[in-house]
A and B are shown apart, each in its own frame.
Chain A
Amino acid sequence: MEFLLVQTLNGISYGLLLFMLSSGLTLVFSLMGVLNFAHASFYMLGAYFAYQVSTTIGFWPALAIAPVLVGAIGMLVERWGLRTVHRYGHVAELLFTFGLAYLIEEAVHLVWGRSSVEYRVPPDLDGPLFTIFTSQYPIYRGFMMLVSVAMLVSIWLVLTRTRIGLVIQAALTHPQTVEALGHNVPRVFMLVFGGGAALAGLAGVIGGNAFVTEPGMAAAVGPIIFVIVVVGGMGSLAGAFIASLLIGCMQTFAVSLDWSLAGITIAQAAPVLPYLLMVLLLIFRPKGLMGTREG
């Protein structure tokens, strides 16, 4: 019982963090048709920027500054990179984001070195939040959930209650028509790309110190968020949300179970499970859980 509760809470908080990453990826994909390989790099940049800012002026300013910086970089990448490459088709875009991911990783090596940096949970948020039976639940995990839920509510409000949100929703299905009505669709693309990058950056700020901030962190989380987008259904935010929680819980539970099958424990097989899920889903339901289009 105790194990179940604690692991569920951990699974949800990890799942919410994954959603913060996959929501931007899926929005960018469905709006612009760009599968952004560099998305997880924005997550890494968020963590490193937060580390840098927090060592000079503290964690709280970093929580605001790092995502804004990452968002600004995202907008620059869209405006001066992707928009030009777009003319040469999707393959060129894919290669562009692929190259960008390496570029960011090398830049991180150059600036912060090849090993992990000392990005720690701030002292105000260190310690137990409450105790379940005998386990203490850390404040920081609760804080992560709070930030993720606040972000979730804000995305939802922006998309459904504001004019720009309605333009985004309309552009998801009919970009040409939206533009002919007088809306600057290229600018909307830039804002969405920047917004997605900022969300990934925010995930980096709150995830970087909960886990580890090191140059391999983008490559570690990148494939998982692709799995989420595919499992949830290309272009579906609701699908990405469900898939994030599913994979978040699946991974947290799996790594702590030591039941074994044919000599391999579930914990050992844990890293494979998301990909297994993706492969099965692609075979039996190629459009994903809530996706509207095939493939």
Chain B
Amino acid sequence: MLEVRDLNAYYGKSHILHGVHLSVGDGEIVSLLGRNGVGRSTTIKSIMGMVECSGSVKFKGEEMVGLKAYRVAHKGLGYVPENRDIFPTLTVRQNLLLGRKSTRKTGRWKDEDMFELFPRLKERADTQAGVLSGGEQQMLTLCRTLMGDPELVMIDEPTEGLAPKIVEQVAGLFEEIKKRGISILLVEQKLAIALDISERLYVMGHGQIVFEGTPRDMRENAAVRKEWLEV
């Protein structure tokens, strides 16, 4: 479904990505791991067309490199930013509304689905999103992107700084997303979650992919964990 080949990206003069390659299959959950600053966020931003890059990003066989972010979104790629990037002055319901790409088409998700998964959001549907708690904002960014009905969703650090109970809820949402036939490319720092839910893993270091394999391969490979993941 998603095929990334030889992806290079620069911020000004510094070379951030050095020929990154990865792939995500239909309905697959794939994690991209690595320490802070190794280029994981830049990788998914490049795929999304938010960072200038060279190389090849094929989504459903179509080249995405060179397209503007809004066009990439219309092709069916979804992006959930880190830092709970909600629109603070709009209500929860308005945030969800802006997740939709058009008012005519309805996708596989409705406001009600989100409210069922996260009853807290329903209670606060008409509240300004800026006053929600960190966990609630995180749920909202996820739900907002899903409202646009992506076929593959890229999620940047969804569990960072969340209470364990909310992390569980978020993991529950991933299951629901997968059930509806959507692929996930997850950027994570917590190895435990990634091992738990992914089918395949990639590890990044210095702007390159340094390991790829199944959660089982990773469990057995202490050297990779020590060199590239553990602090």
Contacts and interface: CB of A to CB of B under 8 A. Distances in A.
Interface residues of B, number: 23
A155 interface: no
Contacts of B73: 179-182
A188 to B, nearest CB: 10
A184 interface: yes
A183 B81 contact: no
Contacts of A177: 81, 85, 87
A181 B50 contact: no
Nearest to B48: A180
A166 interface: yes
Contacts of A173: 87-89
Given A181-B148, A182-B74, A163 B97 contact: yes
A182 B50 contact: no
Interface in A142-189: 163, 166-167, 169-170, 173-174, 176-186
A173 B103 CA distance: 23
Interface string B86-106: 011110001001110101000
B79 interface: yes
Contacts of A181: 70, 73, 98-99, 101, 144-145, 148
* Residue among A166, A174, A178, A182 having the largest count of chain B Cβ atoms under 10 Å: A182
A179 B70 contact: yes
Given A166-B90, A173-B87, A184-B70, A178 B98 contact: yes
Q: How large is the interface on A (under 10, 10 to 19, 20 to 34, 35 or more residues)?
A: 10 to 19
Looking at B68, B70, B74, B85, the one whose CB has the most chain A CB atoms below 10 A away is: B70
Contacts of B4: none
B98 A166 contact: yes
A183 B87 contact: no
Contacts of A178: 87, 98
Contact of B90 (A169, A182, A183): A169
Interface in B81-130: 81, 85, 87-90, 94, 97-99, 101, 103
B184 interface: no
B94 to A, nearest CB: 5
A170 B70 contact: no
A180 to B, nearest CB: 5
B7 interface: no
A180 B69 contact: yes
Contact of A180 (B79, B87, B88, B103): B79
A56 to B, nearest CB: 41
A170 B87 contact: yes
Contacts of B69: 176, 179-180
A170 B68 contact: no
B87 A169 contact: yes
Contact of A174 (B70, B87, B103): B87
Contacts of A180: 48, 50, 69-70, 73, 79, 81
A178 B68 CA distance: 12
B70 A183 contact: yes
B131 to A, nearest CB: 15
A170 to B, nearest CB: 4
A17 to B, nearest CB: 28
Given A177-B81, A181-B99, A169 B74 contact: no
A178 B88 CA distance: 13
A167 B144 CA distance: 13
Given A169-B89, A182-B101, A183-B98, 14 more contacts: A166-B94, A166-B97, A167-B98, A170-B87, A170-B90, A173-B89, A174-B85, A179-B69, A180-B48, A180-B50, A180-B69, A180-B73, A182-B148, A186-B68
5 contacts: A166-B98, A177-B85, A180-B79, A182-B73, A186-B68
List 5 A-B pairs, minimum CB-CB distance, nearest first: A182-B73, A182-B101, A170-B87, A179-B69, A180-B79
